[in-house]
Amino acid sequence: MSKIILLGPPGAGKGTQAALLARRFGVPHVSTGDMLRNAVREGTELGCQAKTAMEAGLLVSDDIVVGIVRETLARADYARGFVLDGFPRTVAQAERLQGLQTSAPGPFVVLDVKVPDEEIIVRLSSRRVCSACTRTYNLISSPPKREGVCDDCGASLTQRPDDKPETIALRLVVFHKQNDSLLEYYRSQGALCCEVDGTGEVDAVAQRISHLLELEQVR
């Protein structure tokens, strides 16, 4: 089993597809957010450093993130392979990931999930979050039963500031610049890089990914 990296803009459904791939191959789904939360909950040295940064409203540094990734990938259950989601985001992170000694065999396989900016803006600007229990809804694909009210706890739904259309557009500018550089880097390293059409239903995207992996004989 190869080591798979999912790239794509925010709102492209990377987390969903990564989880499906991990289940299909019987390997761990490595989510940066989950890794950080686990390290904080377990009280590791790096987890405590991450907690301090997050509580101060600061971005968690590359040193901390890469350190937590290193600790995670060194575990025995990652020896057969893994699916990475949310990391790396920059060439600097990719270079450090490349330098990690993992026990998983084979090269990295990079899947670049493509969704038009216009659709990403619609997807993310339609997102609403419960102000109490933080359950997430989408006004188009998974709306609440009552407008503006959480199905679970009855609290009001809010729109996050970074889900405003103008903010999303700015985030996408940054994403494209970083993603283009990442793909260029991985191609220069001889990694298998494949584009995937990320539009449509979850099952349709999953089938496209499966077809690509079968064509490339990724197991």
Q: pLDDT tens digit string along 150-198?
A: 999 999 999 988 899 999 999 999 999 999 999 999 999 999 999 999 9
Is 51 a catalytic site residue?
Answer: no
Q: Which of 37-46, 48-57, 172-181, 202-211 shows the lowest per-residue confidence on average (mean pLDDT)?
A: 48-57
**Set 14, 96, 123, 128: catalytic member:** 14
**Residue 4: pLDDT above 70?**
yes
3-class secondary-structure state, position 197: strand
**Terminal CA-CA length for the chain:** 5
Is 187 a catalytic site residue?
Answer: no
Question: What is the reported pLDDT for 194?
Answer: 95
Per CATH, domain 3-115+169-215 is 3.40.50.300:
yes
Domain definitions of the chain by residue range: 3-115+169-215
Is 171 a catalytic site residue?
Answer: yes
3-class secondary-structure state, position 115: coil
3-class secondary-structure state, position 129: strand
Is 146 a catalytic site residue?
Answer: no
4, with CB counted inside 10 A (0-12, 13-18, 19+), is: buried
Q: pLDDT per residue over 88-136, tens digit each?
A: 989 999 998 887 766 666 778 999 999 999 999 999 999 999 999 989 9
Mean pLDDT over residues 39-64, rounded?
Answer: 85
Cα(54)–Cα(20) distance, rounded to whole angstroms? 29
Question: What is the reported pLDDT for 102?
Answer: 63
**Residue 57: pLDDT above 70?**
no
pTM to 2 decimal places:
0.84
3-class secondary-structure state, position 136: strand
Question: What is the reported pLDDT for 12?
Answer: 94
Question: What is the reported pLDDT for 77?
Answer: 86
**Residue 218: pLDDT above 90?**
no
Question: What is the reported pLDDT for 202?
Answer: 93
**Set 96, 123, 127, 208: catalytic member:** 127
